[in-house]
Amino acid sequence: MAGTSLRPLRLKLTLWYFATLCAIIGLLGGGLFLAIGHRFSAELDRSLRDATAQLEGAAHTRELESGARGKVVDAVEELRVADRAVYLLDAAGTPITPPNAPAWVRAAARSVGSTGALDLEHDVPDGGTLKLHAERFVLSGGRSLIAAAVADKVEVEDRYSALITAFGMAAVLALVLVAGGGWLLVRQATAPIDRSMAQMRRFMADAAHELRTPITVLRAQAEVALQREREPESYRTSLRSVESESRRLGRIVDDLLTLARADSGERPITLARVFLDDIVMDAVAAAGAMAAARDINLTLAGFEEAAVNGDAALLRQLIMILLDNAIKFTPPGGNVDVAIRVRDASATLTVTDNGPGIAPDELPHIFERFYRGDPARSRGENAPAASGAGLGLSIAQWIAEAQHATIAIASAVGGGTEVTVRFPVSAALAPVLSS
């Protein structure tokens, strides 16, 4: 149910990841293509300048070797520049070699005769574009010639197209991976929210269920009492029932409020150096009357002085929860033993009873809120399953963790139950405040 409710959120987050990556790839790709396109164009321009320089060098070489104009032509004809067309023209634009040159090349040569150099692009009928670079140079004899080199821009376009294809394939693969990976990451990231929402719904449902029972009893008792005139004793019976259910309702509300404040961090915790043995003695004395009423022997089986860092009020509440559970689920005539021992830099509180114990399949859930186990295996025959809301041990676990302590339960069916709370021993002399 939780996963289904979060599906739109997961889809939106995945789409956001996908859109963000698309924007990044688009910006990166656009900048990359502009930079590489400029680089390709610059390389083409440089190759044309190199071709004209080679043509000029060949002309000077042949002039020095023969001094004859024909020889100059021969030298140029021997020059081969890969993928480039080279032209040697005079200042009037008349081709020298090769003997024929396109009209636009001749026109460019005439312009170079006055400007000295020229870069030009020319569109051809088949849809291509030719790029020309021409320079004027002077032979040793004083004659001005024009060296021109022409290349087809399709070379740049082919390289550019190959780059776009490779980048596009990589981008598509990256987008597919990020879509799948983003969905998995979103599922992983929202898993704690799933669990929190499920726990919240379960908590609210359990709280509503637990509150419904005493409220129903209260309403029923009031309705019965108001139906007709009754004897005073009958009213007293109804009021006693109302008072009992009111107390139970109050305990549930108090426990819910405690857990709610614990979850939100609103319950301030004052950690100070306190003596655990004093708090335990006070709690045992307070629980003595309850144990005596149920004919249960409550004893201090072991007692050592133990100073710990803790919140005295919360520690007393923790101990009272453990004693209340032990007494409640121990049959009349049973024993509940409490011990405090200091071993290996830790203080240990144990509460042991000789009741029927807890089934192994229930132990992993014993600290869950509203968990009370199977009513058919209630540990106390005189303690009905509805006598508690199943919040006590959840509160006890929170208190223990807030005191930097650990709490554990060992039990076996028919072998009793032992609850162990282990505290680090306090060596501090000054109080420590924590919240």
E strand or H helix that includes residue 421:
strand 417-424
Give the 3-state secondary structure of 214-231: HHHHHHHHHHHHHHCCCC
Assess whether pLDDT exceeds 80 at residue 397: yes
Considering only CA atoms, which of 415, 255, 231, 254 is closest in space to residue 334?
Answer: 415
**Residues near 359 by Cβ (< 8 Å), separated by ≥ 6?**
373, 374, 377, 413
Name the strands in the sheet holding 95-97, side by side, starting at the edge strand that comes first in the sequence.
95-97, 85-90, 144-152, 129-138, 117-123
Going by DSSP bridges, is the β-strand pair 335-343/297-302 parallel, antiparallel, or unpaired?
parallel
User: Could you tell me what percent of the chain has a pLDDT over 90?
Assistant: 9
pLDDT band at 68 (very low <50, low <70, confident <90, very high): very low
- Cα–Cα distance for residue pair 403/36, rounded to 1 Å: 64
E strand or H helix that includes residue 31:
helix 7-66
pLDDT average, residue stretch 95-100: 82
pLDDT average, residue stretch 320-326: 89
What tokens does 314 get? 């919360």
Q: Which residue has the higher pLDDT, 152 or 430?
A: 152
pLDDT at 434: 37
- Its sign, for the CA torsion 237, 243, 247, 249, is positive
- Its sign, for the CA torsion 323, 329, 334, 337, is negative
Assess whether pLDDT exceeds 70 at residue 2: no
pLDDT at 407: 92
pLDDT at 213: 65
pLDDT band at 81 (very low <50, low <70, confident <90, very high): low
Question: How would you label 162-192 residue by residue, b for 16+ Cβ within 10 Å and e otherwise?
Answer: ebeeebeeebeeeeeebeeebbeebbeebee
Please state whether 45 falls in left (phi above 0), alpha (psi between -120 and 50) or beta. alpha
Q: Which residue has the higher pLDDT, 90 or 70?
A: 90
pLDDT band at 267 (very low <50, low <70, confident <90, very high): low
pLDDT band at 420 (very low <50, low <70, confident <90, very high): very high
- Cα–Cα distance for residue pair 107/97, rounded to 1 Å: 16
pLDDT at 382: 45
SS3 3: helix
Asked if residue 41 lies in contact with residue 49, where contact means CB atoms within 8 angstroms, the answer is no
Please state whether 127 falls in left (phi above 0), alpha (psi between -120 and 50) or beta. left
Let me know how long the chain is: 435
E strand or H helix that includes residue 335:
strand 335-343
pLDDT at 433: 36
Mean pLDDT for the chain?
77
Among 111-115, 151-155, 297-301, 406-410, the minimum mean pLDDT is found in 151-155
Q: Is the pTM of this model over 0.85?
A: no
For residue range 169-222, what is the model confidence (pLDDT) as tens digits? 877 887 788 777 777 877 777 777 777 777 677 667 666 766 776 777 777 777
Which residue type is seen at 294?
A: R
- Cα–Cα distance for residue pair 431/22, rounded to 1 Å: 56
What tokens does 383 get? 């303690």
Considering only CA atoms, which of 403, 402, 420 is closest in space to residue 411?
Answer: 420
Domains within the chain, CATH numbers bracketed: 2-159 (3.30.450.20), 268-434 (3.30.565.10)
DSSP string, 75-143: HHHH---TT-EEEEEETT--EEESS---HHHHHHHHHHHHHSEEEEEEE-TTS-EEEEEEEEEE-TTS-
Considering only CA atoms, which of 221, 73, 380 is closest in space to residue 65?
Answer: 73
pLDDT at 383: 46
User: Could you tell me what percent of the chain has a pLDDT over 70?
Assistant: 79
Assess whether pLDDT exceeds 70 at residue 74: no
